[in-house]
Amino acid sequence: MSRRIRLSAWTRTGCYTCKRRHKKCDGQKPRCLACTRLNLDCVQSDVFCAVPAGRAPSRRKRAIPQAAPFKSSPPVDRPGSRGPTPLHDQAGEGEEERLTLSRLPSTYRPKGFHFDISQPECWLFQYYVERLSGLLVNAIGHENPLQSLIVPRVLSSPLLLRTVCAVSALHRSSYAQDGGTMFQTEATGYYVRALSDLREHVPLLHGKDNSGLLQTVLLSSIFLCKYEIIKDGVTNWRRHLKGIESFCQLLGGDGSAAPMPDVMEFAQSFITYHKGIASLTEQGASVMHPDETARDASHDAFVDTPSQNSVLQPVDPYMGFSKCLIVLLRRVMGLLNLNSDGGEILPLVALELQHILVLLSRRNWTAEHFLIPKGMTQETIARLVHVSRAYENAVHACLHSVIEELSAREGAEQEVWEGLRAMLPVGKEAALTGCIDDIRLVPCDSPEEAGLLPVLFIVACETDSPEQMMTVLQRVTVLEAHVGLGNIRYAAALLREVWSRRMQLQQWHGWRGLLATTNWDLIIT
C-alpha cells in the first residue's frame, strides 16, 4: 500500500510558495528559510491571498473582484515566479466590509458605509487598511492616525474614499507583475474624479456648521498630495502642499479649526515634515526665522532655556522623535539663500550658525522628552532613537556641506570660513559614519525604515567612501522594494548617477547642479 503524504492546510501566514507546496513556512521576509534552503522563488503573499484553514473548496462561489491581490514584499527581477491566487471565499453580501473592518481596533471601528460602494472600491479600501496605512507613517503605537482619522470619515464621504482608492491603486501598480497598467488606469480615474469632487466642495465651505466638510476636504487634499509622492509628480505635489498650507492658515485664522484639533494636528505634522525634507532638494529653500522655527517644531521643543523644556512632546506620526531635527534641517539649508542686501553675508551666516548650534546642543529628540503612546513597544522606541540619531548626524553633515558651498561661492578668505567650520562639534566624516551606523541598526522592512530615505540621500550625496556609498545604494534598493513609492525609485537612480560621476571625478560634490538640470524634480519624503 502506497504511503499517504499528509499535507499542511493553507493558513493566513507565510509565503505563497510554501502555501502552494502545503509546507509550513516561518514567515520571514523577503525570503523564508524553507525557500532559501531549497533555492526556490519565495513569493510573498498576504492575508487576502490565503485560504482559511478548514474551509471546504465547494464554498468558493462568488466571482473574484476586478483587482488582483497584492504582495507584501514582492520579489525583484524574478520572471519565473508565480503570482498569488485571487481573492476567494466572499460568502455573502457585506463580507468584503467585514474582511476590511474586523482588524481595526474597536475604538474607531465604523458601523458601515453610508453610500453604495463597488467591489473594486471595497478591495482598494481593504488594501489601504491592511497594507498602505502602515507604510505611509513612520511612527505608530496602538493607534495609527491614518486609520483612526481616515477610516470613520471614509464611510460617509465618497470624496475621501476616491482619494484613498486612487492612492491604493497607484501603490498596488508598483507591485503588479504585468506592469500595473490596470491599476494605473484605475488610479487615474479615481484621482480625476476626486479632483472634480474637490472643486465642487470648495464653494460649500463658507457656511456654518460645516466642520465635517472642512475635515473631508483637508484630508482629501493630503491624500492627493500622497498620490503625487507615490507617482513622483513633483509639480503637482508642490501645488497640493501649498494648497494644504494655505487652507490650514485660513482655518486657523477664522477659528474653523477649533472643532477638529486632531485633524489640524495631523495636517500640521504633514506640512512640517514635507517642507523640512523638501528643503534638501528645492532650489532656493526659504530662510526660516526663529519664530517660524519655534512654531513648526512646537514651543516646548525650542524654548529659551533648557530648564524650561519640561513638557513631554507627543511622538509625531511622520517624524517620530526627529521633528526638531527636521525643522533644523530646513533652517540649515536656508543658509544657502541668506540675503545680505549687498553687504557681507559672512556675519549673517555666523550668527545663524550660532543659533543652530545652540538648538542642536539641547538634544530635545531623545526618548525621555516624549510622551510615549500606548501600545508603542520598546523595539519601536529603540528604532526611533536610531532614526533621530541618524538625523542629528545628517544635520551636522549638511552644515559642513553648506559652509563648503558658501565658501566656494562667496570667494572670501578661506581662513574665515575655516573658523566657521571649526565651530562645528562633529567632523563631516564622523557625522556620515554615525549616520551609517544608526541606519544599520534599523531593521529592513520595519515601519520606521521609510523615514530613512532623506538621511540615506544626504550620506550618498556627501560621502567620498565607496563602502558607505555601496551601503546606501543597497539600502535604498531594499527600501524601494519594501515601500513601493515612485519617488524612491527616482531617488535611487539619481544617487547612482551621483556616484558614477564621483568615480570619474574625485571629490566631486556637484549634486545640486545635477539636480538643477532636472528642474529640481525630486521628492525624498
Q: What is the dihedral of CA 262, 266, 269, 271, to 10 degrees?
A: -120
Query: Would you place residue 2 in the very low, low, confident or very high pLDDT band (cuts 50, 70, 90)?
Result: very low
Q: 21-25, 102-106, 336-340, 349-353: which range is least confident on average?
A: 102-106
How far apart, in whole angstroms, are the C-alpha atoms of residue 15 and residue 71? 9
Q: Who has greater pLDDT, 233 or 56?
A: 233
**Confidence (pLDDT) at 440:** 93
Q: Which residues contact 242 (CB under 8 A, 6 or more apart)?
A: none
pLDDT at 21 over 80: no
Q: Determine the average pLDDT of the residues in 150-169.
A: 90
Amino acid at 437: D
Helix (H) or strand (E) holding 314: strand 313-314
User: Distance (Å, rounded) from C-alpha 72 to C-alpha 524?
Assistant: 22
pLDDT, residue 499, reads: 82
Count Cα neighbours of 43 within 13 Å in the Cβ-side half-sphere: 21
Closest CA to 202 of 188, 185, 221: 221
Lowest mean pLDDT of 4-18, 207-221, 451-465, name the range. 4-18
* pLDDT reported for residue 286: 53
Name which of 179, 187, 168 is nearest 74 in CA terms: 179
Reported as a pLDDT band with limits 50, 70 and 90, residue 429 is: very high
Q: In the structure grid, which three cell numbers stand for residue 393, read together?
A: 548626524
What pLDDT does 142 receive?
65
Over residues 293-304, the mean pLDDT reads 47
> Average pLDDT for residues 418-422, to the nearest whole number?
88
CB 130 within 8 A of CB 48: yes
Sign for the CA dihedral angle at 141, 146, 151, 152 comes to positive
Amino acid 97: pLDDT: 40
pLDDT tens digit sequence for 444-493: 878 888 888 899 989 988 888 889 989 999 998 888 888 877 778 888 88
Among residues 85, 75, 117, 84, the alpha carbon closest in space to that of 100 is found at 117
Query: pLDDT-based confidence at 107, cuts 50/70/90?
Result: very low
Give 370's contacts (C-beta < 8 A, 6+ positions apart).
312, 313, 314, 315, 321
User: What would the mean pLDDT of 38-62 be, rounded to a whole number?
Assistant: 48
Confidence of residue 201 (pLDDT cuts 50, 70, 90): confident
What's the distance, Cα to Cα, between the start and end of the chain in Å? Answer: 63
**What is the set of domains in the chain, with CATH numbers?**
1-62 (4.10.240), 106-278 (no CATH), 279-517 (no CATH)
Residues 228 and 238: their CA atoms lie apart, in Å, by: 9
Average pLDDT rounded to a whole number, residues 285-295 = 53
pLDDT at 219 over 90: yes
User: Looking up cell 532650489, which residue turns up?
Assistant: 283
pLDDT surpassing 90 at residue 391: yes
Q: Give the pLDDT score at 104.
A: 45
Please write the tens of the pLDDT for every residue from 327-363: 999 999 988 888 766 567 888 888 999 999 999 988 8
Q: 3-state class of 507 per DSSP? A: coil
Alpha carbon dihedral 262, 265, 270, 275, in 10-degree steps, equals 170
**501 versus 47: which is more confidently predicted?**
501
Which range, of 42-51, 336-345, 373-382, averages the lowest pLDDT?
42-51
Of 69, 66, 169, 162, whose CA–CA distance to 119 is shortest?
Answer: 66
The answer to whether residue 297 scores a pLDDT higher than 90 is no
What are 58-64's contacts with CB under 8 Å, separation 24+?
59/89, 59/91, 60/88, 60/89, 61/91, 62/88, 62/89, 62/90, 62/91, 64/88
- Mean per-residue pLDDT, 420-425: 90
pLDDT confidence of residue 87: 31
* Residue 435 predicted with pLDDT over 80: yes
Asked whether the beta carbons of 368 and 388 are under 8 A apart, the reply is: no
pLDDT for the residue 441: 94
Top pLDDT among 251 and 75 is at 251
Confidence band, pLDDT 50/70/90 cuts, at residue 114: low
How many alpha carbons lie under 13 Å from residue 191 in its C-beta half-sphere? Answer: 23
Kindly state the average pLDDT of the residues 31-52: 63
Burial class of 281 by CB neighbour count within 10 A (0 to 12, 13 to 18, 19+): buried
Residue 239 is predicted with a pLDDT of 87
Between 252 and 124, residue with greater pLDDT: 124
Q: How confident is the model at residue 296 (pLDDT cuts 50, 70, 90)?
A: low
Residues 300-328: what's their mean pLDDT?
Answer: 71
Residue ranges of alpha helices (H) inside 411-446 are 414-422, 428-440
Cα–Cα distance measured from residue 294 to residue 163, given in angstroms and rounded to the nearest whole number: 32
The pLDDT of residue 230: 85
pLDDT of residue 10: 46
User: Which pLDDT belongs to residue 14?
Assistant: 78
The kind and range of the H/E element at 331 are: helix 323-333
In angstroms, the CA 510 to CA 312 distance is 41
Question: Mapping DSSP to helix (H, G, I), strand (E, B) and coil, where does residue 371 land?
Answer: strand
302 has pLDDT over 60: no
The DSSP result for 116-151, as a single string, is ---HHHHHHHHHIIIIIHHHS-S--SS--HHHHTTH
The single-letter DSSP state of residue 13 is S
Q: Compute the average pLDDT of residues 122-144.
A: 82
For the chain, give the percent of residues with pLDDT over 90: 22
Using DSSP, state whether 398 is helix, strand or coil.
helix
| Burial of 9: CB neighbours in 10 Å, binned 0-12, 13-18, 19+ | exposed
Give CA–CA dist 432/439, Å, rounded: 11
Q: What is the DSSP letter of 269?
A: H
